[in-house]
C-alpha cells in the first residue's frame, strides 16, 4: 500500500500546484510502471479521497506541525495518511508504518534522514490528539466542510436554506447513473437484463437508472452496443428540455464530451451540428457517437464567435457553456482547490459573450436552452436576467414541472443531492 500512498501524494502535490487531477494522476502513475492494478486503483481512491477532504486533513496537519515543511512531497504524503486515518477503513498502525516506509522510498532528491522519524511522530501524535484536535477545529468551517472559505460564504449567502446540505452532498461519492436508450430497449426490460447479470439497480426517473454499486463500463450490459450511456441524472434533463422534434435544425454548442449530443439524437431524428472550441475534445464526441451508432456534423469553432456560421438559423440551440463546474465537485474533487473566487466573474464574462452570440443564430420562434454545471448565481439566473434586459426579443419560458418530479431544484437550479449533481437550466424563446 505504501506505493499507493506515494502515487496519491504525488498526484495531490501536482493538484495543489495547479494541475488538473485528470492529468496529475496519470502522470503520477507513470512514475511507478510496475504498480499492480490493485495498487493503481488504491492510489486513485486515495487521491480522490485526500482532495475531497483536503480542507479537513490540511487543518489537522497544520495544527500538528511546529513549522512549515520544506519538502512538499512529505507534506502531501502526510495529508494522504491523515485522510486515511480519518476516513479509510485501513488499520491505523498499518497506515502509519506504510507512510514511514513510503517517505524512505521517495526518489530524487532523497529525503533527509530525519524524515522517517518526523512522519512517524506526526502521525502518532495525530492519533493521540485526534479528539482534542477535532474539538479545536469544530468551529473552523474549512475543516468542517472541506471547501475554501469563499466558496462556503458564497453558498451561505445565495442558498441560506440549503448551503450546508449542498456542501455535504459535494463530499459524497457520486452515484453511477446510466441513460437508457429507450428507442432500443424499455426501462423495465433493461432492469431485468441487469438483474440477470446480478447487477442491482433502480429506475429514478426519465431514462435514468442508477446502479447500487459502480462498475466498469466493460461490465455494463449493452454499453458497448450503445443501449446505455453513463450520464448523471441531472445532466439527462438537457435533451428533453430542449423540446426537439424530428427534422429540426439543432446546434449543440460547447458539446464535448458528447453526452448531451448523443441523448438529443436518441430522442429525435434531427439535423444536429455539434460544436466545440477544442478539436481534440471533438474526437471524444465522435467516439461516443460511434458507440451509439449516431451521426452529427462535428465542428471545431468558438461559440463566442460567428465566423463559422453559414447563415442558416437553428431551430434549437443547446448552450452548455463553460463554467466553474461548482455543481459537480463530487466527481471532480480538485475543482474546489483549483478554483479561485475571481474565476466566477471570469467565467461569467465568458458566458456573457457566448449567449448573445448564439442568440443571433437562433430562428424566430426558436428555443435556446442555457445550461451550466454550476451552483453560483452569477453564472446562472443572474446571467440570464442580464441577458433578458439587453434582448427584448427574448423570453424565459417556464420549465415543465414533470421534468423535475424526482429532482431537488429551485427555479431551474438543481441542488446537488444523492441522486444528481448541480445543474442550472433556463429555456429562452425568440419572439
Q: Where residue 217 sits, what CATH number does that domain have?
A: 3.30.70.1170
124 and 215 part of one domain: no
Instruction: Please report where in the chains the cell 433502480 appears, as a residue.
Output: 202
248 and 396 part of one domain: yes
Q: What is the pLDDT of residue 317?
A: 98
User: Which residues are CB-neighbours of 175 under 8 A, at least 6 positions away?
Assistant: 210, 211, 214, 418, 419
Q: What is the pLDDT of residue 404?
A: 78
| DSSP assignment letter at 70 | S
User: Which residues are CB-neighbours of 149 under 8 A, at least 6 positions away?
Assistant: 141, 142
Report if residue 164 sits inside a domain.
no
Domain limits at 19? 2-140
204 and 280 part of one domain: no
Report if residue 166 sits inside a domain.
no
Determine the Cα–Cα distance for residues 47 and 26; give it in Å rounded to an integer.
Answer: 11
Number of compact structural domains in the chain: 3
- DSSP-based three-state secondary structure for 200: coil
- Encode burial over 184-219: b for 16+ CB neighbours within 10 A, e otherwise: bbeeeebbebbeeeebebeebbbbbbbbeeebeeee
262 and 385 part of one domain: yes
Quick one: how many helices (H) and strands (E) in the chain?
Answer: 17, 13
Report if residue 226 sits inside a domain.
yes
CATH code where residue 136 lies: 1.10.940.10
pLDDT in tens, 33-47: 999 999 999 999 999
Low-confidence ranges of the chain (pLDDT < 50): none
245 and 216 part of one domain: no
242 and 226 part of one domain: no
Determine the Cα–Cα distance for residues 210 and 219; give it in Å rounded to an integer.
Answer: 15
206 and 241 part of one domain: no
Q: What is the pLDDT of residue 111?
A: 67
Instruction: Please report where in the chains the cell 474549512 appears, as a residue.
Output: 142
Residue 254 falls in the annotated catalytic set: no
221 and 264 part of one domain: no
Half-sphere CA count of 301, side-chain side, radius 13 A: 20
Cell of 87: 476516513
103 and 17 part of one domain: yes
Report if residue 301 sits inside a domain.
yes
Cell of 340: 479561485
Among 214, 230, 246, residue at a domain's last position: 230
Among 195, 230, 265, residue at a domain's last position: 230
Report if residue 192 sits inside a domain.
yes
Determine the Cα–Cα distance for residues 327 and 155; give it in Å rounded to an integer.
Answer: 11
238 close to 317: Cβ distance less than 8 angstroms: no
State how beta strands 297-300 and 271-276 pair. parallel
Report if residue 165 sits inside a domain.
no
Report if residue 171 sits inside a domain.
no
pLDDT in tens, 307-317: 999 999 999 99
255 close to 261: Cβ distance less than 8 angstroms: yes
92 and 60 part of one domain: yes
CATH code where residue 254 lies: 3.40.50.150
Q: What is the pLDDT of residue 359?
A: 98
269 and 323 part of one domain: yes
Determine the Cα–Cα distance for residues 52 and 135; give it in Å rounded to an integer.
Answer: 21
Beta strands in 283-423 (DSSP E): 297-300, 314-320, 362-372, 394-397, 409-410, 413-414
245 and 315 part of one domain: yes
- If residue 190 lies in a helix (H) or strand (E), which one and from where to where? helix 187-196
Among 186, 206, 230, residue at a domain's last position: 230
| Omega prior to 257 cis, within 30 of 0 | yes
Report if residue 162 sits inside a domain.
no
Amino acid at each position: 500500500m505504501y506505493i499507493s500512498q506515494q502515487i496519491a501524494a504525488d498526484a495531490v502535490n501536482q493538484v495543489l500546484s495547479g494541475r488538473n487531477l485528470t492529468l496529475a494522476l496519470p502522470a503520477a502513475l507513470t512514475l511507478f510502471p510496475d504498480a499492480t492494478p490493485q495498487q493503481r486503483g488504491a492510489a486513485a481512491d486515495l487521491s480522490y479521497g485526500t482532495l475531497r477532504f483536503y480542507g479537513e486533513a490540511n487543518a489537522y496537519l497544520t495544527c500538528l506541525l511546529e513549522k512549515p515543511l520544506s519538502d512538499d512531497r512529505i507534506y502531501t504524503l502526510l495529508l494522504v495518511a491523515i485522510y486515511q486515518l480519518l476516513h479509510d477503513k485501513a488499520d491505523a498502525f498499518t497506515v502509519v508504518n506504510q507512510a514511514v516506509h513510503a517517505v524512505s522510498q521517495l526518489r530524487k532528491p532523497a529525503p533527509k534522514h530525519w524524515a522517517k522519524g518526523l512522519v512517524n511522530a506526526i502521525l502518532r501524535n495525530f492519533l493521540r490528539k485526534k479528539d482534542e484536535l477535532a474539538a479545536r477545529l469544530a468551529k473552523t468551517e474549512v475543516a468542517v466542510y472541506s471547501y475554501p472559505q469563499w466558496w462556503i460564504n458564497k453558498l451561505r449567502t445565495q442558498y441560506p436554506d440549503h448551503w450546508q446540505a449542498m456542501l455535504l452532498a459535494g463530499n459524497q461519492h457520486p452515484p453511477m447513473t446510466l441513460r437508457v436508450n429507450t428507442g432500443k430497449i424499455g426501462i423495465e426490460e433493461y432492469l431485468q437484463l441487469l438483474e440477470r447479470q446480478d447487477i442491482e439497480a433502480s429506475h429514478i426517473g426519465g431514462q435514468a437508472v442508477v446502479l447500487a454499486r459502480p462498475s466498469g463500463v466493460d461490465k455494463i450490459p449493452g454499453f458497448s452496443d450503445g443501449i446505455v450511456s453513463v450520464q448523471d441524472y441531472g445532466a439527462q434533463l438537457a435533451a428533453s428540455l430542449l423540446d426537439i422534434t424530428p427534422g429540426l435544425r439543432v446546434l449543440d454548442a460547447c458539446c464535448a464530451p458528447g453526452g448531451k449530443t448523443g441523448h438529443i439524437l436518441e430522442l429525435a431524428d434531427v439535423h444536429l451540428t455539434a460544436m466545440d472550441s477544442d478539436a481534440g475534445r471533438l474526437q471524444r464526441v465522435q467516439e461516443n457517437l460511434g458507440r451509439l451508432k449516431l451521426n452529427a456534423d462535428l465542428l471545431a469553432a468558438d461559440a463566442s464567435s460567428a465566423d463559422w456560421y453559414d447563415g442558416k438559423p437553428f431551430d434549437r440551440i443547446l448552450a452548455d457553456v463553460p463554467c466553474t463546474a461548482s455543481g459537480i465537485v463530487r466527481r471532480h474533487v480538485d475543482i474546489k482547490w483549483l478554483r479561485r473566487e475571481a474565476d466566477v466573474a471570469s467565467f461569467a464574462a465568458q458566458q456573457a459573450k457566448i449567449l448573445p452570440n448564439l442568440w443571433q443564430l437562433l430562428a424566430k420562434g426558436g428555443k435556446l436552452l442555457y445550461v451550466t454545471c454550476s451552483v453560483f448565481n452569477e453564472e446562472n439566473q443572474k446571467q440570464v436576467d442580464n441577458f433578458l434586459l439587453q434582448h427584448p426579443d427574448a423570453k424565459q419560458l417556464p420549465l415543465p414541472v414533470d421534468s423535475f418530479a424526482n429532482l431537488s431544484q429551485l427555479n431551474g437550479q438543481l441542488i446537488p443531492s444523492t441522486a444528481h449533481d448541480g445543474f442550472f437550466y433556463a429555456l429562452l424563446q425568440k419572439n
